[in-house]
Structure 1
Amino acid sequence: MRAEEKKLGRVFHLEFDEDDDFFGEFERFVMEKNIRSASLIVFGALKESDIRTGFREVIGPSATRYFHDWRELIAVGNISWPEEPPAVRGDETWDGPKPYIHLHLALSGGPYQPGEVLVGHLSGGVVKGMFAEVHEFV
C-alpha cells in the first residue's frame, strides 16, 4: 500500500442544468478552476447515460451500456490530470495532461424498474437534474 498526505483546498457545490452534457460541463469547470486533484460525490438523475462495467478491451459481451430513459444515480470518484488517457478511454490519444473525471456509480434500473441497480463507470450522460460536491486537494 502507498499513502500520500494531501490538504483540503477549495470545496465546490455544483448544480447542473437540465440537458447539460455532464462531462462537457464538468471538464469545462475543472479547467476553468484549474482543479488538479479532487474527490467527488455526485447525485441526481440523467436523461441519457452510458456506463462501462470494465475497460474497453474486455473480451466477450459489450462492457458498455447505453440508456435513453431517465435514471437516478449516486457516484463517487476523483479528478486527476494523467499524462496519457487511462485504459478505460480505449484508443483515445492526448497531447499532454488532461483532466480525467473518474466516477464509479450505482444507477437505477430506470422508470418502473425500482428493483434493478447497475454499477460501473459513468462514461457519458445528459442531465435531468444533478448535483456534485468537489473537494479539492492541494
Structure 2
Amino acid sequence: MQYSQGRLGRVFLVKFENKDDILKSLEGFVKKEGLKNAVLVFLGAFRRGQLVTGPKKAVVPPEPNWKPFDGGWEVMGVGTVFSGKKGPQIHMHAAMGKKDKALTGCVRKKVDVFLVIEAVVFELKGIKARKEIDPKTGLNLLRILR
C-alpha cells in the first residue's frame, strides 16, 4: 500500500448538459481551472456510449471488454484526476440502469449526457501522485510519490 496526505482545495459544482461529451467537457474544465489532483462524484443520465466492463480475461495486460449502450440510462459515478505526461488524466467509473438492466464500468471513450449530469469536483492539494505507464502492466496507473 502507498499513500499521500493532502487537504481539500477548491470545490466546484459542475452541470453537464444534454448531448455534452462528458469526458471531453470534463477535460476542458480541468484544464481551464488548472486542476492537478481532484476527485469527483456525479449523477444524472447518459444518452449513449461505451463502458469497459472489466477485462475479457484476467491476464496482464488486460484486453478491455467494451459494452455499448444507447437510449438514456440513469447513472451515478465517481472519478479521479491526476496529472500525467500528457496533462490531466481522468479515471471515471459509473453504475447505470435502464428498466431491468444494469451496467457498471469504466468511462473511457465518448459518452454523451442525456438531459443533465450534476457533478461535484473536489480539488486535492498537497497530494504527491502522478499517472504513469506502469512497466509491469503497460497500463497508465496511479503512482504515489514520496
Q: Same fold (TM over 0.5)?
A: yes
Superposed CA deviations along residues 54-77 of structure 1, whole A, max 9, x for unmatched, are: 359645xx6001112110111012
Distance 1:98 1:51 in 2: 23
2:96 to 98, 104, 107: 107
- TM-score w.r.t. the length of structure 2 is 0.75
Q: Which residue of 2 aligns with 1:82?
A: 84
Deviation, 1:116, is 2.2
Q: Which residue of 2 aligns with 1:137?
A: 124
**SS at the partner of 1:127?**
strand
- TM-score w.r.t. the length of structure 1 is 0.79
What amino acid does structure 2 have at the position aligned with 1:105? A
Q: Which residue of 2 aligns with 1:16?
A: 16
**SS at the partner of 1:4?**
coil
Greater strand content: 2
Where does structure 2 lack aligned partners over 5 or more consecutive residues?
Answer: 126-146
Specify which structure has the bigger relative contact order, considering alpha-carbon pairs within 8 angstroms and separated by 6 or more residues: 1
Alignment RMSD (CA, Å): 1.7
- Cα distance, 1:6–1:55 mapped onto 2, change above 3 Å: farther
Q: Which residue of 1 aligns with 2:144?
A: none
Alignment of 1:39-58 (within 5 A): 39-54=39-54, 58=62
- Cα distance, 1:82–1:55 mapped onto 2, change above 3 Å: farther
**SS at the partner of 2:123?**
strand
Q: Which residue of 2 aligns with 1:29?
A: 29
* Large movers: runs of 4+ above 6 Å: none
Distance 1:18 1:10 in 2: 26
How much identity, in percent, do the aligned residues show? 28
